[in-house]
Amino acid sequence: MKTKIIVGLGSCGIAAGAGKVYNMIKQLVEVDKLDIELKQTSCIGMCYREPLVEVIDNTGRYLYGDITIDNVTELMDRHIENGEPIRELVVESDLFRGSEQGYSEGQVKIALRNCGYMDPESIEEAEDRKAYKAIRMVAEDKLSQDDVIKSVLESGIRGRGGGGFSTGLKWRFANNNKSDTKYIICNADEGDPGAFMDRSLLEGDPHAIIEGMILGAYAIGATGGIIYCRAEYPLAIKRLNIALHQAREKGYLGNNIMGIKGFNLDIYVKEGAGAFVCGEETALIASVEGERGMPRKRPPFPAESGLWKKPTNINNVETFANIPYIVLNGGDAYNKYGTVKSKGTKVFALTGKIKHGGLVEVPMGFSIREIIFGLGGGIQDDKKFKAVQLGGPSGGCIPEHLIDTAVDYDSVNATGAIMGSGGMVVMDETTCMVDMARFFLNFTQEESCGKCTFCRIGTKRMLEILTRITEGKGEDGDIEKLEELSEQIKDGSLCGLGQTAPNPVLTTIRYFRDEYEAHINDKKCPAKHCKALLTYEIIPDMCTGCTVCAVKCPTDTISGKRKEIHFIHQEGCIQCGECFSRCNFDAIKVY
C-alpha cells in the first residue's frame, strides 16, 4: 500500500506549529520524489501532544506527538526511508502500546467519530465514512418526518448546548406548527471553554453538522438553514463554506433533495460578533435579524415564533453532529450508552491544571474522577486536585470530595454546576476559589447585554465585592450580600446568562466558604494567590547574602550587605513576588 502521512491541522495544531511541519514534510517529499500521500486532517483530540503526525504504511498505523520542524527530518529518515518507527515519539499505534494509549481507552466517539480520521475539506472522504448516508436512507426507504422524529426521541438525546431539553420533543413542537416557512439554526456561538469542542467539530467534520441540519429540516419541514458561527473561528467558517458548496454540488442541498419531492433547503453561514449572550437562542435570532443580540421574553417560544416570526428550531453543534448516527443506526444504538435520564455520549474540553488537555468523548455517567485522572492523566506537576469548574463561565465549581460525581444532567445539576456545552476547567491547590469566582463573574458581567437590571447592575455589584475581597478589603457581611444578590439575579434575569451567572459564586461559597472567611477575617489567601494578601519574609538560616533579591526589588524595600542576612521592610513591600521568584536558595517564604 502507498504510505500516508497525515498532519493534524486544526486550530490547536496550527497554533502549535503543525502548519510549518506540514510544509516541511511536503518540501521533503517533493525534493526526494517520495511516493507518499500527504494529507491534512483536523484536531485529533490529543491537543497536549500537538503537533500530531500520523503515518500509515504496510506495517500499520503510528501516531506521533510533539513533531516539530526540528525532528521532521529524523521522522522522514528513520520511518519513511528506512521503515524504522521512532517508538519514543509514538503516542498511539495498533501494533504496540504508545505513550498516550490510555487517552483513548474508555472513550466512545460518536460526535467525534470522524474528527482526525479524514480530510475535512473532502466530501468524498466524508462519504467514505458514511456522511449523508442517513439522508439517503430516509429518501430510499421513504421515511416520514414522524419516523425521523421518533428515532431521535427513542435515542433520548438532550440538547448538548446547556439546557438539556429533549431534542426529539423540540423537533416535535416545531413539526406540529403547520407554517409554510420554517427555519433550522445551528448555534455555533458558545463562548465558554466548551466552545473549543464546537470549533473542533466544525473544523473536523463539517459534513456531520450539515447532514444533521438537513435531517432536522426534513423532520420539522424547514425551508431555510443558518449556521450562526462567531467570526473568531475563521478556519471553521472556511471549512463550513467549502462543505456547503460541496453539498450543493452533490445534491444534498437544493431543491427536491435526494429525490424527496418538495424538500427544498439551503444553508448559509452567518458570522456573529462573538457575544456570549448570543448563545441564548432568542438573542441569537435577534442578531441574525440584524438587531442587537438581546434575549426576548418567552412565550412565544422559537418553535412557535422565531426567526422573522416563523417557527424555528435551534440546536447546537454537538447535538447536530450526533443526529446522522442516530437516524442511520436507530435510537437504540445511541441510548445503549449513558444513564437512565442522560443518554448517549458527551464531549468535554479538558483545560486548566491538567496534564492531558484536549477533547474527550465518553458515555454519560462517567465520573469526574475517571475523566480527570483516567483520560486527563491527573493534575499538572502531581499537585493536589482541588476543584473542577463545569459548565463554562456560568457553571459551578465541584470540589474534591465530589470527584466521584457521575457526569450526567441530574447529578451535575445537584452539585450546583451545569453541564453546559462541555467545558471542564481543572484547578489544583494553588487556585484561589474566591479569585476564580471573580474571574468568571468578570466574564459574565462584561458579556451581559444590559437588558435586565438585575443582571446588568447586580453582577457589577457582585464583582465589586469579590474584587474588594481579593484585594484584602473584604468586610463582615460580604458573603451574605453575595448570596442575596445571587438569588435576586437568578430570579430577576430574563435569559440563561443572568440566571446562571451567580453559579461560580454560589458554588464556591457553598464548598469553600472557609476561603472567603480567611480573605475577609484574616486577610489571608489560603492558596497564596491573591497578591494583596501575601507576606514575604526572608528566612535567616537560608539567606546567603547574595543580594539578588535586593537588586531586583522594584521598591528598594530589601536591605542587607553582601554576604549578610537580608531583611524585607513590610511597609514598603508591594507583594510583587519578584524576590521570591528570583531567590536561588529558597530563603524567602510566603504566607
**The total number of structural domains that make up the chain:** 5
359 within domain boundaries: yes
Residue 545 burial by CB count (10 A; 0-12/13-18/19+): exposed, middle or buried?
middle
250 within domain boundaries: yes
Residue type, 486: S
113 within domain boundaries: no
Domain of 62: which CATH number?
3.40.30.10
Interatomic CA distance for residues 108 and 400, integer angstroms: 26
Interatomic CA distance for residues 569 and 567, integer angstroms: 6
3-state secondary structure 322-381: HHHHHHHHCHHHHHCCECCCCECEEEEEEEECECCCEEEEEECCCEHHHHHHHHCCCEHH
Final residue of a domain: which of 335, 368, 393? Answer: 335
Q: Are 469 and 519 in contact (CB under 8 A)?
A: yes
Same domain (yes/no): 221, 312? yes
Final residue of a domain: which of 335, 362, 382? Answer: 335
Containing 303, the helix (H) or strand (E) segment is: none
Interatomic CA distance for residues 412 and 261, integer angstroms: 45
Domain of 569: which CATH number?
3.30.70.20
Q: Are 75 and 89 in contact (CB under 8 A)?
A: yes
116 within domain boundaries: no
Provide the pLDDT for residue 190. Answer: 64
96 within domain boundaries: yes
Q: Which three cell numbers stand for residue 552?
A: 531586583
C-alpha distance from residue 93 to each of 37, 105, 569 (Å) = 19, 13, 59
pLDDT along the chain (591 residues), means of 10: 94 96 96 94 95 96 96 95 94 93 92 96 98 98 97 97 89 94 91 70 97 98 96 94 98 97 97 87 95 93 95 96 98 97 95 95 97 96 96 92 96 92 92 97 93 95 98 96 97 92 97 98 95 94 94 94 94 92 93 89
Owning domain of residue 502: 433-522
Final residue of a domain: which of 428, 446, 481? Answer: 428
583 within domain boundaries: yes
User: Which one, of 515, 406, 520, lies nearest residue 472 by Cα?
Assistant: 520
Interatomic CA distance for residues 69 and 508, integer angstroms: 44
285 within domain boundaries: yes
Same domain (yes/no): 410, 503? no
The residue count for the chain: 591
Provide the pLDDT for residue 104. Answer: 87
Which residues are bridge partners to 166 per DSSP? 158
Same domain (yes/no): 275, 138? yes
| Tens digit of each residue's pLDDT (9 = 90 or more) over 133-165 | 999 999 999 999 999 999 999 999 999 977 789
Same domain (yes/no): 398, 446? no
Same domain (yes/no): 279, 187? yes
Same domain (yes/no): 302, 354? no
Q: Which three cell numbers stand for residue 234?
A: 475563521
Q: Are strands 224-230 and 266-272 parallel, antiparallel or unpaired?
A: parallel
Same domain (yes/no): 306, 168? yes
449 within domain boundaries: yes
Same domain (yes/no): 442, 543? no
Same domain (yes/no): 323, 214? yes
Same domain (yes/no): 550, 505? no
Same domain (yes/no): 331, 205? yes
Same domain (yes/no): 10, 76? yes
